[in-house]
Structure formats: structure tokens, C-alpha cells
Amino acid sequence: MDAPLPSKVESLLRLARKGPLRARDLDQADIPRAYLQRLCERGVLERVDRGLYRLADAPVTEFHSLAEVAARVLHATICLLSALQVHGLTTEAPHAVWILIDRHARSPRLSYPKIEVVRASGAARDHGTETRVIEGQDVRMTTPAKTVADCFRYRRRVGLDIALDALRDYLDQHRGGIDALVEAARANRVYTRMRPYLEALA
């Protein structure tokens, strides 16, 4: 005997357990958007931001805001101070989520969380990315080496002191990763600028 088909509510909750839920995710699953409002009224879901929902009892991690941004801005890559925090290359908590987008992409508009946007194209945008799962959401971010190179590329935005601290921490934690760092710096066209600091600290 065939198993009964899951109800619309069960299907919606299954999606919500995977991480932040966008209204358009329901369209792909053939679930009416009216179910979102019903489950919010029942206290099962909560509206995080426009078009973004989560389970009311979902666990919240220290990187919750990164998962929210990744769910809302699909073309963004988490970078700079936010990526430093994930990689353990800083002790500071960023005041915003830093994202890297294409030079010609439209600027995302989020009321929450606050975002800081930097732009690049070609190798400076595409080199050195990885995907991590945070609260069930796939989050694309820069690798440790690329993140350090980005700090030098965008040193006017983050400060040279942040870039140097990130370089020191990277070298302490990834002693075998100098080649990856050099590759990332060359992709960013900042190797010449980074090289004196790298030689002094390595």
C-alpha cells in the first residue's frame, strides 16, 4: 500500500527545518503562500524580514545573520570581517554582514540585518570561495586565504591594522597555506602590496 502524501503543512515545515524559508520557496514546492500567514498566527513560524521566515523554535547560532543574508541575497559571498569571524581570524564581532557581489549587480536592500557591500569582478570575485551550512542554509563565503587578501584589497574600508592582524593570525593557523595566500593575493592584484608584510611575518 502506498504511503499517504504529506500535507501542505508537513511539506512546508520540512522546508523550514532546513533553514530560513523564503516565500518563493513555497512556489517551487507548490504550496500556497497563505500557509505562511496561518503558521505565523499559530506561532509555528515567525517572520524575520520581508519575505523571510523561520521556525519559531529554531536554534539561533552566532552566525544567524549570515544565514539570513545568504537566504535573501543569493548572488552574495560572505567576506571580509564576517568571513574573518567565521574562520577564527579575528576576535571582533562585525557590526554588519559583509558581502561581496559583482561589480554590476544591483545593490541588495535589506532592512535587517545591516550589510556592508564591496564589489569585484573576474578572478577578484570568483577566486577562493567555499560553501558552509549554517542553520541549514548554504552560505557561500571566501576561504581564509582569500579573506586575508580581500582585507588588503579593501584596506581603506576595513583598515590596514585589521588586514595585518588577519595576516598574522592566518600565518599562525595555516603555516602550510602560504601558497594559497599568494594565489589569492595575485587574483586580487594586491600581491605586490602584501609581499613586504608577508616576508616580514612569515
Q: Express each pLDDT in 51-100 by its tens digit.
A: 778 888 876 667 889 998 998 899 999 999 999 999 999 878 888 999 99
* Residue 160 predicted with pLDDT over 90: yes
Q: Give the DSSP letter of residue 111.
A: S
Q: What does the alpha-carbon distance between residue 175 and residue 155 come to, in Å, rounded to a whole number? A: 23
Instruction: Let me know if residue 178 belongs to a domain.
Output: yes
Q: What is the CA radius of gyration of the chain?
A: 20
If DSSP states are collapsed to H, E and C, what string results for 30-84?
A: CCCCHHHHHHHHCCCEEEEECCEEEECCCCCCCCHHHHHHHHHCCCCEECHHHHH
* Grid cell of 27 as nine digits: 512556489
Cell numbers given for 73: 541575497
Predicted structure pTM score: 0.75
Backbone angles phi, psi at 135, to 5 degrees: 50, 40
**What rounded mean pLDDT belongs to the chain?**
88
pLDDT given at position 60:
63
Domain encompassing residue 110: 64-201
**188 or 26, greater pLDDT:** 188
Per-residue DSSP letter, 195: H
User: 101 with 146, same domain?
Assistant: yes
The residues near 39 (Cβ < 8 Å, ≥ 6 apart) are: 9, 12, 13, 45
Looking at the structure, tell me whether residues 39 and 77 fall in a common domain.
Answer: no
Report yes or no on 95 lying in a domain: yes
If you average pLDDT over residues 134-151, what whole number do you get? 94
Residue 70 belongs to a domain: yes
- What is the strand order of the sheet 21-22 is part of? 21-22, 52-55, 45-49
pLDDT of res. 1: 37
Residue 1 maps to a domain? no
